[in-house]
Amino acid sequence: MPTLLAPLHQHWHSGKQKMASTKKVFDLVIIGAGMMGSAAAYHSSQIPGTSVCLVGPSEPKVRKEHEIFGCWFDEGRICCRVHEKHTWSVLSSRSIQRYREIEKQTGLNFYSNVGNIQCLEKKEEFESLLQMNQQMTASAEDVSKKWNDIYPFFNFPDDIYILQEKVNAGHISPREQVRAHQTAALQHGTEIVRKIVSTVTPADNPDYKYAGHRILF
């Protein structure tokens, strides 16, 4: 029997706790099946020989008071490569590069590669974005002088600074992205448990069904 770091005690909606018949021990248990947890399940499930369990409820069909909220219960997330911080720019760029691959693998489309613009009032902030654009070789363009021709339907002030990323930027559907990551994770053997975790306990109680060598919250 391997050493358990923290078996999980699940919250059972019936109110009565069930005894576990057989304990399932995973290399990694991820708590929270939202945007981060689902992506983590997908990526970790690709590590050879690693068993992964993702725990968390689906989006509720009807929202009630006190229900756990997930930041992915909607259809719009902006994504672009050029950000103020270098780390953010690198992570965004790497994520966007993988979107089509995950879509192909799962047959679920979540990414619209329609471009993005950022509007800034402060010249210093705009210049730091331009620097980041260069550093990332992201091919964004300064359209501060011509936005009116490109986007006649916008009404920005004349002294606004605008950076346009025509490609490798746009928006995603967080709902569909979560679904795609979970589908890909399932394809790689992840077990998904649709429960709310209420307690994480040390390893010496035989009553709990799910356990992990590592727990990611």
Q: Which alpha helices (H) appear in the chain, and where do they start and end?
A: 35-44, 86-106, 123-136, 147-150, 174-187
- Whole-angstrom distance between the N-terminal and C-terminal Cα of the chain? 24
Tokens linked to 60 = 């509720």
Interacting residues with ligand FAD between 137 and 166 (CB under 6 A): none
Closer of 51 and 70 to ligand FAD (Cβ): 70
Closer of 69 and 154 to ligand FAD (Cβ): 69
Site string for ligand FAD, 61-100 (x = CB under 6 A): -------x-xxx----xx----------------------
CA–CA distances in Å: residue 5 to residues 44, 112, 202, 205, 213? 18, 41, 7, 12, 5
With beta carbons less than 8 A apart as the criterion, state whether 52 and 30 touch: yes
- To ligand FAD, the closest distance from the beta carbon of 62 in angstroms equals 15
Task: Identify the DSSP state of 95.
Answer: H
Query: Is 7 a binder of ligand FAD (CB under 6 A)?
Result: no
Which amino acid, 67? E
- To ligand FAD, the closest distance from the beta carbon of 208 in angstroms equals 14
Q: By CB under 6 A, name the one of 8, 25, 197, 215 that touches ligand FAD.
A: 197
User: CB under 8 Å to 90, separation ≥6 — which residues?
Assistant: 136
- To ligand FAD, the closest distance from the beta carbon of 57 in angstroms equals 5
Other CB atoms within a 10 A radius of the CB of residue 44 amount to: 20
Query: Is 120 a binder of ligand FAD (CB under 6 A)?
Result: no
- Cβ-closest residue to ligand FAD? 34
Q: By CB under 6 A, name the one of 7, 9, 29, 37 that touches ligand FAD.
A: 37
Nearest to 133 by CA among 166, 182, 110: 166
Stretch of residues binding ligand FAD (CB under 6 A), selected from 29-37, 41-49, 121-129, 155-163: 29-37
- To ligand FAD, the closest distance from the beta carbon of 41 in angstroms equals 11
Q: Which residues bind ligand FAD (CB under 6 A)?
A: 31-37, 55-57, 68, 70-72, 77-78, 174, 196-197
